[in-house]
A = this chain, B = another copy of it.
Amino acid sequence: ERRIISGIACSDNEAKISIIGIRDEPGAVAAIFKPLAEAGISVDMIVQDVSKDGGLADVTFTVDKDLLDRTLKLIKGSREKTGFKDLISDRNVIKLTVVGLGMAGQAGVAQTMFTALGEKGINIQAISATDIKISVLVQEKHQKEALKSLHAAYGLDKR
């Protein structure tokens, strides 16, 4: 069975932050991330879906766990400017990433990942994929089982 992915990675040093209800208008996310960029805080995963209700959108992203408190402080500090509705954070997440090989047959790469997690009852909290790279956030407690399931699903557990 030929390989369709080049690797599976797991990052457990990330914390998730969700900013709820930012204005869906030009410049809104730029204003959100400005204080973070100025503080030199690197953001890893970023997920923002289209807005539906009343022109408000949400954005979820991850930063290193040890930068969480500082990041939350900066976001709250700029609330007057950015005007969001709610702020949620969670330290107990891991980011699982699968990288495809970009060959024919890639249609199944994301599907295989989602199925491998779904079948083990592991809930996917967020998905960020572009091209051949797919990242998902799940609860930290699932780490061992998630990696085992992913390796098996992609045929990487054969020795």
* Chain A residues packing against B (C-beta within 8 Å): 16, 18, 20, 24-31, 33-34, 36-37, 39-50, 52, 58-61, 88, 95, 97, 106-108, 110-112, 114-115, 117-131, 133-135
Contacts and interface: CB of A to CB of B under 8 A. Distances in A.
Contacts of A42: 106-107
B107 A44 contact: no
Nearest to A51: B125
B119 A27 contact: yes
A105 B24 CA distance: 28
Contact of A111 (B36, B88, B97, B129): B36
A124 B31 CA distance: 13
B125 A128 contact: no
A117 to B, nearest CB: 7
A107 B33 CA distance: 9
